[in-house]
Structures are given as structure tokens and as C-alpha cells.
């Protein structure tokens, strides 16, 4: 898994970020979702390296082998703004001031905050199986509450930790045949760590509080993503069923949007890596405006 990739740990101040990277070319950072680690990209990242990119795969703050600050009542230490700052710091320490980014699931929320807060750093952005958090929250229906109830369960104090840590293997169900055995073992080790579980819950708690307020501020100010934007969603997941055309929603947040569905379940990097890597490689090909990437 990740043959030819280097591994390192980057100190970004209040957090320590585990990162994998390889390649020689225009830089791309891949941001995983919940409850995965950077290992979820093990079938996609090498394909992007082969396509001519430098590929960087961090564990998000608190996930996997990354560690974040102490937990606080306002959840700010695990806000998407804080995590986006980690990504900028990691990329700069690796020598990249400007880069492309793809974010899946919760990583997509980080990618949105990264692109809005640091527009000069992001050349292109791909959002995978996600919408802005406020778009979900403004469309709460019986179907959403039934299928996405975990958002609100995770927001409760103390109870989710006790439930999940009592039997993490039953809560976080994974299939090594689908995920790949090494990816599965890394993920399983992470989800058995109570500190990681708490950090993942803080991600969701921040989503309903501080992250929501940040997005509302941007929405009210009509702040938009201005770089080229790709939206991809899994046709066997529920995003399109719940909300209709995801592109129509993303066009309220970005000025240059394209995209389509992929024949996959939710964990697209593991279930449809060839299709995903092909779409990302084509989208991330730099144009002359991106010539300042390094």
C-alpha cells in the first residue's frame, strides 16, 4: 500500500499531522472523510502520481495518526477552519504554496473552508459526495433525519463516546475485501483509539456549531469559490436522492462548476478508484493560469 510514498509527521503548532506523499509534478492534496484515514486513497493516489502529480495525503486533525489540541466546549479546535489551516501549513512545509485539492465527505467540508479562507493557495477543487454543511441543515426532512441521524447523535455530550468505545468494531463496520486489507487494518486500529473517536465526534460537533456559523457568514456575504470546481457524487449513495442535482446546489457556492455521478457506493476511492482517479487526473491537469504551482 502506497508503494514509493514517503511518510512524515508535520508539526503545525497545536496539531501534529501524519502525511503520506510522493510524485513530481503539480501538487494535489487528498482529504479523506469520516471515519477513514489517508489510507482510503491507496488505490487513487498512486494513479495520480503516475499521471504526473505530486500527491499529498494527510490524516485530518485528530483522525488516524494525526493529533489535535485538547477538546474545548466550543469545539473550535476541530473546526474546518482549523483543519484547513493544517493543510496549508503542511503543504507549505512540503514546498507547495499553491495546489489543487480534493475532499471526500467531511474532507469536502474542509476543502470548502480551505478554498474560501485561502483562495490564493488553491488552484482547483474537487468536492466528492458532499455539500456545504448549511445546505444539509437547511433541508432537514424526515428522510434526512432518518438516514443521517448520526449527525445529531454525535452532537450529544459524552453518550456517543460511551456507545462507540464499548464496541467500535460493531459501530464502525468495514470490509477488508472492499477496503483492502492494509487500509482496513489501519482504519480499524484508528477507530479502536478512544482519542481518535473523540476527535471524530468533535468534527461533527464543530459542524453543527462553529462551522455552521462560518458558512452562514460566507453565504450572507455571497463569498464564493472562484477557482475551477469539480463535483462528483456516488450514484449508489443518497446525495442525489435527498437533494436532486448536486450541481445546482454547488453553483450557489462556486462560480465555475462541472461534475457528474460515479457508479459507486459512498466510499468511492475504495469502490471505484479507476473512475475517480481518471476524473481527478483529467480535472487537475494545470492550465497556464496555474503555472505558479510548485
Distances (CA, A) of 17 to 10, 78, 94: 5, 13, 12
Q: At what angle do helices 210-220 and 194-207 cross, to 10 degrees?
A: 30
Q: Which residues pair with residue 44 across a beta bridge?
A: none
CA–CA distance, 176 with 165 (Å, rounded to integer)? 21
In the annotation, is 195 catalytic?
no
**Grid coordinates given for 182:** 492494509
| HSE-CB of 62 using CA atoms within 13 angstroms | 29
Q: Is 161 left (phi over 0), alpha (psi -120 to 50) or beta?
A: alpha
> 25, 54 in Cβ contact below 8 A?
yes
- Which of 117, 118, 238, 266 is labelled catalytic? 266
> 67, 99 in Cβ contact below 8 A?
no
In the annotation, is 105 catalytic?
yes
Q: At what angle do helices 80-93 and 210-220 cross, to 10 degrees?
A: 90
Residue given cell 501538487 in the structure block: 27
CA–CA distance, 168 with 24 (Å, rounded to integer)? 39
Backbone dihedral angles phi then psi of residue 273, each to the nearest 5 degrees: -65, -35
- Which of 53, 75, 96, 105 is labelled catalytic? 105
> 101, 87 in Cβ contact below 8 A?
yes
Q: Which is nearest to 259 in space by CA: 293, 235, 290, 236?
A: 235
Q: Which residues are catalytic?
A: 105, 266
Amino acid at each position: 500500500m502506497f508503494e514509493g510514498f514517503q511518510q512524515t509527521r508535520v508539526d503545525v503548532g497545536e496539531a501534529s499531522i501524519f502525511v503520506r506523499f510522493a510524485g513530481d509534478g503539480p501538487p494535489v492534496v487528498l482529504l479523506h472523510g469520516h471515519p477513514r484515514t489517508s489510507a482510503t486513497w491507496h488505490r487513487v493516489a498512486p494513479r495520480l502520481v503516475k499521471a504526473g502529480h505530486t500527491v499529498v495525503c494527510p490524516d485530518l486533525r485528530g483522525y488516524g495518526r494525526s493529533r489535535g489540541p485538547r477538546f474545548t466546549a466550543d469545539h473550535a479546535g476541530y473546526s474546518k477552519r482549523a483543519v484547513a489551516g493544517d493543510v496549508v501549513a503542511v503543504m507549505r512545509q512540503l514546498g507547495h504554496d499553491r495546489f489543487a485539492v480534493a475532499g471526500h465527505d467531511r474532507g469536502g467540508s474542509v476543502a470548502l473552508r480551505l478554498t474560501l479562507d485561502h483562495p490564493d493557495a488553491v488552484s482547483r477543487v474537487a468536492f466528492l459526495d458532499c455539500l456545504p454543511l448549511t445546505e444539509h441543515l437547511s433541508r432537514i426532512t424526515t428522510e434526512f433525519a432518518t438516514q443521517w441521524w448520526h449527525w445529531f447523535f454525535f452532537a450529544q455530550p459524552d453518550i456517543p463516546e460511551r456507545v462507540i468505545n464499548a464496541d467500535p468494531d460493531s459501530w464502525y463496520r468495514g470490509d477488508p475485501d472492499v477496503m483492502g486489507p492494509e487500509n482496513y487494518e489501519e482504519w480499524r486500529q484508528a477507530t479502536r483509539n478512544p482519542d481518535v473517536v473523540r476527535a471524530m465526534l468533535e468534527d461533527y460537533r464543530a459542524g453543527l456549531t462553529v462551522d455552521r456559523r462560518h458558512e452562514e457568514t460566507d453565504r450572507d456575504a455571497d463569498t464564493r469559490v472562484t477557482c475551477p470546481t469539480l463535483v462528483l457524487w456516488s450514484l449508489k449513495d443518497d446525495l442525489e436522492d435527498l437533494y436532486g442535482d448536486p450541481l445546482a446546489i454547488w453553483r450557489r457556492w462556486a462560480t465555475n462548476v462541472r461534475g457528474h455521478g460515479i457508479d459507486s457506493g459512498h466510499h468511492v476511492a475504495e469502490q471505484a478508484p479507476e473512475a475517480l482517479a481518471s476524473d481527478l487526473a483529467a480535472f487537475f491537469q494545470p492550465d497556464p493560469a496555474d503555472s505558479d504551482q510548485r
